Chain A
């Protein structure tokens, strides 16, 4: 192939295929630009930035949903590498795009209802929010180590600023300062790991990693041992673990959530976790795909290590949540615990994929089921966590407090918010009629399956079960204060009623938590369909 053909192919591929497949991202970019233009030409006297943002997010969501439907109807395992293999477009990408954009629409609506950014700061806030979302979408579709790093950074850098968005508030500035210092350190370590990995493999393309690794391990070069490769992989995982707030990289999470407003905390707790999990799954499967040969035991042990860390994370999050007096801080520790549960799912995917033995078909089927559980859990987690944070935001708007003690007896003034909080928290615990139970059950089932390969996974399963019991108490503590304690005299009123927009919004977000707990089939078959594309 000569130069001219390569050039034509490149231009054609970019213009005809690739650009069309990143329409949602492009629309978000366009929305950011129009937000800036709205301020630049002082159009914001007529159109508030929040409505521009809402429309942009909605249009992007429409395109993403359309892409997903087209892919689903086409059937088969369509996997397209776009932009010369930098990004990958398949059902997994499309699923996470829908997920993130739906969440973006909901968050923008929440900020409009709770009035977080005022007119002056609107363009700034939504620019950061959208930029961060684009980063997460890039993370979900990355197929190259460079894009992996870029995605993580594009997500992180705007979120540092969003955490410190409440100007002149001491805790907010402290939270963002701590967040940026930890975050920058973690991403530096991750980049160093990426540089070693890319140099060792001679490529940054993640779909070539398994092949190259096999080549290296079969050629028996003395400098590359399994240990060296695990160190590199662990360095990359440091960056992802930071995004996921996994023990021992969780320090930023409670501080950042307490300092940030409830809306931003809700956004970070769901969206950045989702993006990071998508990336972690892609990264982990890039190594496990195909026959890893001599490195298989190494990967199996990495999977077990991830599982142990997940168990520690869940335990730590649940135990630390006991002492909390601030609702956002409590929810931050609950977020850490849930990251632990979901990481257990990833661990079982890795372990199942690297099962010793020749039966690859069974391993793939089991791993698909584990991933299906993870996706289901993420989808439910979106609604239940956003619901909880939305309730916190609406209550804050009326009583100007996020301390648990100030929530006493809220049931008498705002039953709707209290009932929604009850549903969300029961789902976060994992109570049977709600969605959280189904997600947790699927992940625990996959852990049980993985236990057949290595007994450590059974221990992790036990840890997960115990954690569910631990977590019961601190969620119930909040609910007890809200439902059973008497409302002190003279406490401010919360005027969120059934018919009001905030009340309606909270119900809208909470409803799927119930629906997904009862009607499991629809989402789980979609999740399975999505998961299967990663295991050809």
Chain B
């Protein structure tokens, strides 16, 4: 119990330190050249004072869309991380039999007392379990990375959208999309 409290205390102290130290260093080092823009409150580039019913810059929207897709994929890492941590711990052949039983019980989701002795996970099978999981996650993650690289290459996450370099080849069949019957005039709602 004290062990846990101690860990939390240590963790808290380090967090507070990690916050204070950079702020302090910044305060000591930076030059003081205030301008009205610098003095205003930072809100990601939007005006901070005024009605909140404003239309945000559409460019946030695109970045947010890309973020949603890649952010949520992390969810597949949580179950994997749970298993992988346990498996790698079990794969260590030096741990004691009691620890092994305890970890196996945790992994198989059964109480320690009910765990049959043949169900205690051996070092080698734990290693294979971890390795299989790692491979799966690596494949999954690399596919994600290809998608990310594609988005990047297309310039969809650039803040200032660069006009795509004009290709040297003429794009064929550009004229094939039939013209719409409706006028392209946009009605304001």
A contact set with B: CB distance below 8 Å: 2-4, 7-8, 11, 33, 36-37, 39-40, 45, 114-116, 118-120, 123, 166, 169-171, 261, 396-397, 400-402
Contacts and interface: CB of A to CB of B under 8 A. Distances in A.
A119 B176 contact: no
Contact of A118 (B108, B125, B174, B178): B174
B178 A402 contact: yes
B104 interface: yes
Contacts of B108: 3
A191 B172 CA distance: 43
A378 to B, nearest CB: 30
Majority secondary structure, A binding face? helix
Contacts of A400: 178-179
A37 B146 CA distance: 8
Contacts of A115: 172-173, 176
A118 B171 contact: yes
Contacts of A39: 150, 153-154
Closest 3 CB pairs of A and B: A115-B173, A400-B178, A4-B125
A402 B176 CA distance: 12
A3 B119 contact: yes
Interface residues of B, number: 33
A7 B176 contact: no
A170 B179 CA distance: 11
B149 A170 contact: no
A258 to B, nearest CB: 11
Contact of A36 (B150, B173, B180): B150
B176 A114 contact: yes
A36 B147 contact: yes
A51 B129 CA distance: 40
> In the complex, which of the residues B149, B174, B178, B184 has the most CB atoms of chain A within 10 Å of its own CB atom?
B178
Contacts, number: 70
Interface of B: 104, 108, 116, 118-119, 121-122, 125, 128-129, 132, 143, 146-147, 149-150, 153-154, 164, 167-169, 171-174, 176-180, 182, 184
A476 B167 CA distance: 46
11 contacts: A2-B116, A3-B121, A36-B147, A40-B150, A45-B169, A114-B176, A115-B176, A118-B171, A119-B169, A169-B180, A396-B176
Contacts of A8: 125, 128
Contacts of B150: 36, 39-40, 123
B119 A2 contact: yes
A4 B90 CA distance: 13
Contacts of B122: 4
A153 B162 CA distance: 33
A170 B118 contact: no
Given A4-B121, A170-B182, A36 B174 contact: no
B143 A33 contact: yes
Contacts of B119: 2-3
Given A2-B118, A2-B119, A401-B178, A118 B132 contact: no
Contacts of A120: 164, 167, 171
Contacts of B104: 3
A166 B180 CA distance: 11
B153 A118 contact: no
Contacts of A116: 173, 176
A374 B105 CA distance: 51
B178 A3 contact: no
Given A40-B153, A120-B167, A3 B125 contact: yes
A483 to B, nearest CB: 23
A171 to B, nearest CB: 6
Given A3-B104, A115-B172, A401-B178, A11 B128 contact: yes
Nearest to A399: B178
A332 B104 CA distance: 58
A490 B120 CA distance: 85
Contacts of B173: 114-116, 118, 397
A321 to B, nearest CB: 20
A314 B79 CA distance: 47
A4 B123 CA distance: 10
A400 B125 CA distance: 64
B129 A7 contact: yes
Contacts of B169: 45, 119
Contacts of B154: 39
Nearest to B151: A36
A119 B125 contact: no
A90 to B, nearest CB: 26
Contacts of A401: 178
A444 B5 CA distance: 75
Nearest to B122: A4
B61 to A, nearest CB: 15
Contacts of B174: 118
Nearest to A114: B176
A497 B93 CA distance: 75
Nearest to B164: A120
Nearest to B182: A170
Contacts of A123: 150
Contacts of B176: 114-116, 396-397
A169 B167 contact: no
A40 B149 contact: yes
B128 A7 contact: yes
Nearest to A166: B177
Contact of A396 (B118, B149, B178): B178
Contacts of A402: 178
A476 B104 CA distance: 72
A115 B178 CA distance: 13
Nearest to B149: A40
Given A3-B108, A40-B153, A120-B164, A169 B125 contact: no
Nearest to B152: A40
Contacts of A40: 146, 149-150, 153
A37 B145 CA distance: 11
A170 B180 contact: yes
B125 A7 contact: yes
A169 B177 contact: yes
Given A37-B146, A116-B173, A400-B178, 18 more contacts: A2-B118, A3-B104, A3-B119, A3-B125, A4-B125, A7-B125, A7-B128, A8-B128, A11-B132, A33-B146, A36-B146, A39-B150, A40-B153, A115-B176, A169-B177, A169-B180, A170-B182, A396-B176
B133 to A, nearest CB: 11
Contacts of B116: 2
Given A3-B104, A39-B153, A119 B180 contact: no
